[in-house]
Each structure stands twice: as structure tokens, then as C-alpha cells.
Amino acid sequence: MNPQVWRDRYRLMVLMRRFEEACLTGVASKEIHGELHTAFGQEAIAVALAEHVRDDDALTSTHRNHLHAIAKRIPLHPLMAEIFEKETGLCGGFGGHMHLFDRERRFSTTGIVGASLPVALGHAYASRLRGDDAVAVAVIGDGSVNTGGFHESMNLASVLGVGLVVIIENNEWAISVPFSAASSTPTLAERAGGYALSGERVDGLDVEATSAAIGRAFAHARAGRPAIVEAMCYRFRGHYEGDLDLYRDAAEKAERTATQDPLVITRQRLDGVLDGAELDELERSATAEINELVAAVRRESQPDRGIARNHVFVSGLVAQQGVFS
Ligand SMILES: Cc1ncc(C[n+]2csc(CCOP(=O)(O)OP(=O)(O)O)c2C)c(N)n1
């Protein structure tokens, strides 16, 4: 065990948890609008992803995207400011939590289920046209795999032989629909065979195993072979903040949330291996970093309403047609 690797893993995992807890306070205070989707319980997958994704790789995500943005090293301040709808946000506060976009870092998200896959495929194809070995990663949920976009993208990625990594976070639920009631195959990894690709299922609570599986997928993709990783996890909270979550058995949810927390599992694994006081200090510093961040973001302004249409219409076209003159 490399202690520094594990220190970094654990701190990043705690940082991700604290980041989303800070977002919850923004929902409660009504600073954040719309349906906020959190990924409590899915942190180990994002930490594992961070260990392999390069700055020049592309990453597309979904409505449940905060941890993927952190994994892609989107700076935390503009990220949180966007979620809190501030003018200092990644998209000037216009996108909000479901529409994060960073062209320079090749990162985008969409609330349309299944729609991020073709975008990732386009990035993978672009990399081939450029002649470099940057790959494209699409992180999707288990609900995305039954869309036409998934099938078309996997098929074409295989035909073209481009560097696409698909990470499916199988948290067992697509809103109120259980995975067991929605999939024709017992696992999603095995669907890779239908596209003549490799796929593997991994315990997404185990950061080491997940990092190894994602590493293998990246190695395939850098060599021009797409790959699927299905990371098993459990959605801790309702589909979005405000979802009453009445379709799940409350006792089972409480039991699984208590026993399948990647932070607890990782900390237990490190107890006795790394110094406990040092782990406490990592937790404290991650918490302090997020507390300072959210306090700073809260002091910032919302975008000027007068420029709300700036990103809606092509200004030349508007001028030409005199739509809003
Ligand atoms: C094309 C489309 N259909 C339906 C929806 C409504 N919708 C939003 S999230 C979601 C479920 C997504 O489940 P999953 O892919 O498993 O991701 P998770 O929410 O579990 O992260 C659905 C059906 C949508 N946003 N887009």
C-alpha cells in the first residue's frame, strides 16, 4: 500500500462528500433552484476516475455530475459558484447545477438521459482526427443504458475503433424504477460483448478495485478500443432533493446507507495502516476547505438579469432579424 496514494484518495473522497453537503445547505436556503441531484455513496467511483483521467481527455456527465466535475479537476470555486447560480460560476451562473460546461477542460453535462454518450463519442472521434491519444469518458447511470443513444454510440465506437470509456454508475435506481425491473441482462458489463468490446463489473464502493478496473478501460481506450466499466453502488438520497423517496423500503435504505458508505469502508480499511490522527486531520482540512469555499461563494452576486438572453440567441442573427431590437 502506498500511503500517499491512500491519503490523497481519502481526502478527495471526504472533500467530495463535504462539497455536496454544502450544496444541500444551498437547497435548504433556496439559493439553489431546480432539482439538485447528489451522488452520496458514489464517491469512490469518482475518486478512482480522477486517478486516470488526464487534462486533455474529454469527460461528459449527466444530471448527477458534481463529483465527475471534481474528478475532471474543474476548479472548485467556479464549480460551486455555478451550482449556487453566481456570476463567478463556470457558466456565469446561467447553467446551474445540471448544465455545467467547460470547453477548455473538455467537460460537459446534460440533463437529457442518454444524450451525453454521443457527445463523448464525438470527442473520441475528434481525438482520432487530431491523431493524439486523448480519450473520451462518458459517465452515465444505469437508466441511460436502455436508450437508443447508448446502443448507437457503443456500436459506432466499436466500428470506428475510437477511445471511448463508458463508466456506468449502477446505483440500482433510475428515479423510482429498480435496475432489476429495467434491464434485459443481469449485468450491464456483459452488454459490451454485444458490441465486441470488453466490459467488467466492479464493486464501486471499493476505490482500489474500481481504480484498477477504470485503469484497464483507459488502457484499452488509449489503444483505440472502447470499454465499459459497470461500477456497483447505491443511491443514498432521493432521486433529487425534494423527492420523498416513498418507493424504497425505508429500513432497507437505512441499512444499506449505513453499511455501504465508501467513506466508512475506506476509513476502516486505513485504520491501523495509516495514523488515525493523520486521517482526522485530512477530514478536518477537507471540511475547512469546503466551509471557506461556500462562505466565499455566498458573498458573490447573481448574474445581471439584463444579460439573461446573451447566451440564448446568436447576437448577429438577433440583430439581423431585429427580434429583440
Ligand atoms: C430522455 C430523458 N428521459 C427521461 C428523463 C427523466 N429522467 C431524469 S433522470 C432519470 C433517471 C436516470 O437514471 P439513471 O440513468 O440510473 O441515473 P441516476 O439518476 O440513478 O444517477 C430520468 C428517467 C430525462 N431527463 N431524459
Q: pLDDT per residue over 209-230, tens digit each?
A: 999 999 999 999 999 999 999 9
For the chain, how many residues are written? 325
Kindly state if the Cβ of 171 falls inside 6 Å of ligand 1. Answer: yes
Give me ligand 1 centre to Cα 136, in Å.
21
β-pair type (107-109, 101-102): antiparallel
What per-residue confidence (pLDDT) applies to 325? 40
Kindly state if the Cβ of 143 falls inside 6 Å of ligand 1. Answer: yes
Provide the 3-class DSSP secondary structure of residue 109.
strand
- Note the pLDDT tens digit of each residue in 97-111: 999 999 999 999 999
Q: What is the pTM of this model?
A: 0.96
What per-residue confidence (pLDDT) applies to 311? 72
Kindly state if the Cβ of 283 falls inside 6 Å of ligand 1. Answer: no
DSSP code string of 49-96: HHTT--TTSEEEE-SS-HHHHHHTT--HHHHHHHHTT-TTSTTTTSS-
* Phi (first) and psi of residue 165, to 5 degrees: -110, 125
Q: Is the pLDDT of residue 130 over 50?
A: yes
C-alpha 33/C-alpha 85 separation (Å) is: 8
Q: Is 24 left (phi over 0), alpha (psi -120 to 50) or beta?
A: alpha
Res. 37 pLDDT band, cuts 50 70 90: very high
β-pair type (164-170, 227-232): parallel
Residue 169 alpha carbon, nearest atom of ligand 1: 21
Domain ranges of the chain: 3-321
| 219 or 324: which leads in pLDDT | 219
Provide the 3-class DSSP secondary structure of residue 216.
helix
Nearest CA to ligand 1 atom 13: 174
Computed over every residue of the chain, the mean pLDDT equals: 95
Give me ligand 1 centre to Cα 143, in Å.
6
Instruction: Return the sign of the alpha-carbon dihedral for residues 76, 79, 81, 87.
Output: positive
Residue 147 alpha carbon, nearest atom of ligand 1: 1
Residue 114 alpha carbon, nearest atom of ligand 1: 1
What per-residue confidence (pLDDT) applies to 3? 92
Residue 112 alpha carbon, nearest atom of ligand 1: 26
Assign a CATH topology to domain 3-321: Rossmann fold (3.40.50)
C-alpha 93/C-alpha 84 separation (Å) is: 8
Kindly state if the Cβ of 144 falls inside 6 Å of ligand 1. Answer: yes
Residue that is written with C-alpha cell 463529483 in the block: 67
Average pLDDT over residues 235-264: 97
